[in-house]
Amino acid sequence: MKIAMITWEYPPIMVGGLSVHCKGLAEALVRAGHDVDVITVGYELPEYENINGVNVHRVKPIGHPNFLTWATFMAHFMEKKLGSLGVDNYDIIHCHDWMTHFVGSSVKHLLNKPYIQSIHSTEQGRCGGIYSDDSRAINDIEWWSTYESHAVITVSNSIKEEICSTFNTPWDKVNVIYNGINPWEFDIPMDDNEKNEFRAHIGIQPYEKMILFVGRLVYQKGVEYLIRATPKILEQHPNSKIVIAGSGDMRGYLEDLAFQLGCRDKILFLGFVGGDMLKKLFKSADVAVIPSVYEPFGIVALEAMAAGAPVVASSVGGLKEIIQHEHNGVLVYPKNPDSIAWGVNKVLSDEGFKEWIVNNAKHDVYTKYSWDVVANRTVDVYNKVINSI
């Protein structure tokens, strides 16, 4: 099967989990014997590269400070790229998130091509509501993508319920396929000396506990509530430090909050982290905290689980589908610093419990959440659509 995958971000451009998802899926589809062309954006990158068997084609749309306007320019350039590659060559057009919907819809109507829309999150969920004209337009585009596409794929039952209730999308049109990872990429070898050396490099002493957050510093990730939990964590584990790996608009606010709570010296802001350093962070952490307010899936949970970091996560969205409480992780109440502190303290206080959830989590990641499983299920949806039109 020849597949065109349309996404606004693809490695080395990484804004959020979408980039990781598209890379993992595309490469697994290639391993399964399919031909995959990714159409994406890259101003300073080569127009074409073959990366691990995936044909990556990049466009350079006209710039604009308004993201919604820029996204419409981007879609136009992506359509042109598909045209130059020969749209008739493709068996399926698979678009990811609202900004690529225009491409799939146009190709569907002009050339009767099968069009799949993946929705990884919704504007209403990301922003906690619709509060601006741009946000309202994005919400409407998301609705339109569910209407126009032949099938929708999403990453959890939670987000499926959100899509069907928010957009009135038919239940049987939305297919749930969980995110995946390549577990071996995060299950890297590091002995105690290597961990201590790495931790010292970022400011963690051997006697200190390392509590890790990885993600964007935005409202939906709930970092504020981890910081608010810090004083209660320090009451029981004073030799602890919070490591925050991520960038975003809330950084200044979060640093001010840490000062106000009297724990700024216990919190390390690393900025965006990727590649080998990210894997070493997970491998070296005593606990990984995912305090999200809204989380359609939570691929960072799988990365931490594969690396052997015990996970404490908010009981929201896809996280509560991945984490089985006190079996492969600990679930806590969202927006609740007391609950987050309780979860972290429980893990840090009981080595036997920590080992139990880490072993169970690693088993689940290797057996349930590999990209090869995800690719096979995605191809099933492709075939269902192709055979129905």
Side by side, the strands of the sheet bearing 240-245 are 267-271, 240-245, 209-214, 287-290, 311-314, 330-332
pLDDT of residue 124: 87
Asked whether this chain's domains 2-180+370-386 and 183-368 adopt the same fold, the reply is yes
Give dist(CA 62, CA 311) in Å, integer: 42
Can you give the pLDDT at residue 15?
78
Beta bridge partners of 38: 5, 56
Q: Are 61 and 76 in contact (CB under 8 A)?
A: yes
Alpha carbon of residue 48 to chain centroid: 25
**If residue 73 lies in a helix (H) or strand (E), which one and from where to where?**
helix 67-85
Over 199-232, what HEC string results? HHHHCCCCCCEEEEEECCCCHHHCHHHHHHHHHH
Tokens of 384: 């269902």
Cβ atoms 40, 94 nearer than 8 A: no
Task: Provide the pairing of β-strand 48-51 with 54-59.
Answer: antiparallel
Q: State residue 389's pLDDT score.
A: 84
Biggest alpha carbon–alpha carbon distance for the chain: 64
Query: In the CATH hierarchy, which fold is given to the domain comprising 2-180+370-386?
Result: Rossmann fold (3.40.50)
Burial annotation 47-66 (CB, 10 A radius, 16+ → b, else e): eeeeeeebbbbbbebeeeee
Q: Which residue has the tokens 């020969």?
A: 86
State the pLDDT at residue 318.
86
| Topology (CATH level 3) of domain 183-368 | Rossmann fold (3.40.50)
Rounded Cα distance between 307 and 310, Å, is 9
Tens of pLDDT, residue by residue, the chain (389 residues): 999 999 999 999 987 778 989 999 999 999 999 999 999 999 999 999 999 999 999 999 999 999 999 999 999 999 999 999 999 999 999 999 999 999 999 999 999 999 999 999 899 888 878 999 999 999 999 999 999 999 999 988 989 999 999 999 999 999 999 988 889 899 999 999 999 999 999 999 999 999 999 999 999 999 999 999 999 999 999 999 999 999 999 999 999 999 999 999 999 999 999 889 999 999 999 999 999 998 877 889 999 999 999 999 999 988 999 999 999 999 999 999 999 999 999 999 999 999 999 999 999 998 888 899 899 999 999 999 999 98
What pLDDT is stored for residue 333 in this prediction? 98
- In the numeric block, which tokens belong to residue 49? 């590269």
* Per-domain boundaries in the chain: 2-180+370-386, 183-368
Burial pattern 293-308, b for ≥16 Cβ within 10 A else e, equals bbbbbbbbbbbbbbbb
